[in-house]
């Protein structure tokens, strides 16, 4: 594969302590992306200060995009971020996930045309939080106490090659461990901004990508992230968002009307 430029996109909201651990895990990567974009859904000053603390430690450009806090508007800020992205390929995690040191390189090595990648996550339980933040811990051996779904912490890249591309929508898709070609994202008009509140924004996007003949490949035994325990966001809009996704499935929707194209026009 010819050289491709990589943009790492991280949405965040008012959790600078978690963001610091992400920065530390980025600094430990065996392969760095070409740029980092922080997609900030309305955080306060403390998040900005944390970003500035690490800006000059990174050897790559860092873009901080902020929008006013008007509730959970992850789809909007991600569309703005990816519209701004200079990379051919987008790797996306969440603001509560720490990257394994091979995370970026694993996504790059597994990438292929007309394909999105989705990985899973190892959960860091509540009992580990005190140690996590006090020690700024970013490495977790297999037998580390406080891990849930521990088998997802096994990295054997050769076994990962046993997973093949498919057009089936997986229930394992999570925006916290996700990558795709920017051109494939633009082709479906990005995230559907009719989806507000927590839930289905990632899987509804994937439905439209599949409808546009982009296949999915699971990242297993590579591309590992560690999800930091936190209280669950309100799911009161989940049913509405689910209905939007079902419409995309039933009507084989490819291009959402309320998507990213408005931000591309501003560039």
Residue 162, Cα to own-chain centre: how many angstroms? 23
Structural domain of residue 12, as residue ranges?
Answer: 6-264
Residue 18: helix, strand or coil by DSSP? helix
Residue 54, pLDDT above cutoff 90: yes
Residues found in the chain: 267
**Which CATH number is 57's domain given?**
3.90.550.10
Determine, yes or no, domain membership for 163.
yes
> What is the reported pTM?
0.94
Q: What angle is formed at CA 100 by the lines to CA 215 and CA 103, rounded to 5 degrees?
A: 35
List, for residues 200-253, the tens digit of each pLDDT value. 899 999 999 999 999 999 999 999 999 999 876 656 778 899 899 999 999 999
Closest CA to 102 of 178, 28, 38, 37: 28
Pairing of strands 62-66, 35-40: parallel
Count of domains forming the chain? 1
Determine, yes or no, domain membership for 40.
yes
Closest CA to 22 of 94, 87, 121: 94
Closest CA to 254 of 173, 174, 168, 185: 185
Report the alpha-carbon distance of residue 17 to residue 133 in Å, rounded.
Answer: 7
Closest CA to 93 of 237, 259, 224: 224
Determine, yes or no, domain membership for 22.
yes
Determine, yes or no, domain membership for 168.
yes
List, for residues 73-104, the tens digit of each pLDDT value. 999 999 999 999 999 999 999 999 999 999 99
List, for residues 114-152, the tens digit of each pLDDT value. 999 999 899 999 999 999 999 999 999 999 999 998 999
Closest CA to 39 of 263, 266, 227, 238: 263
And the tokens for 110?
A: 């597994």
Report the alpha-carbon distance of residue 198 to residue 73 in Å, rounded.
Answer: 9
Determine, yes or no, domain membership for 237.
yes
The per-residue pLDDT of the chain, averaged, comes to: 93
Closest CA to 246 of 180, 192, 179, 197: 192
Closest CA to 172 of 195, 193, 203, 142: 203
Determine, yes or no, domain membership for 1.
no
Determine, yes or no, domain membership for 248.
yes
* pLDDT at 237 (0 to 100): 77
Determine, yes or no, domain membership for 210.
yes
């Amino acid at each position: 594969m010819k050289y491709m430029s990589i943009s790492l996109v991280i949405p965040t909201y008012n959790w600078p302590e978690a963001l610091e651990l992400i920065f530390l895990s980025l600094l430990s990567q065996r392969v760095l992306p070409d740029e980092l974009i922080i997609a900030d859904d309305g955080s306060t000053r403390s998040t900005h200060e944390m970003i500035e603390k690490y800006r000059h430690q990174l050897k790559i450009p860092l873009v901080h995009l902020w929008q006013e806090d008007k509730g959970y508007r992850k789809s909007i800020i991600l569309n703005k971020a990816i519209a701004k992205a200079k990379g051919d390929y987008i790797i996306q995690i969440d603001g509560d996930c720490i990257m394994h040191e091979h995370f970026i390189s694993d996504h790059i090595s597994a990438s292929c045309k007309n394909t999105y990648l989705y990985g899973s996550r190892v959960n860091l339980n509540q009992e580990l939080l005190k140690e996590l933040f006090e020690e700024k811990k970013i490495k977790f051996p297999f037998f580390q106490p406080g891990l849930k779904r521990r088998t997802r912490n096994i990295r054997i890249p050769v076994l990962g090659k046993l997973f093949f591309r498919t057009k089936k929508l997986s229930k394992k898709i999570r925006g916290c461990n996700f990558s795709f070609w920017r051109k494939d994202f633009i082709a479906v008009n990005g995230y559907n901004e009719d989806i507000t509140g927590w839930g289905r924004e990632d899987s509804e996007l994937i439905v439209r990508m599949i409808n546009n003949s982009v296949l999915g490949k699971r990242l297993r035994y590579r591309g590992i992230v560690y999800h930091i325990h936190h209280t669950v966001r309100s799911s009161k809009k989940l049913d509405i968002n689910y209905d939007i996704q079902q419409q995309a499935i039933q009507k084989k929707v490819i291009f959402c009307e309320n998507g990213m194209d408005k931000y591309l026009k501003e560039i």
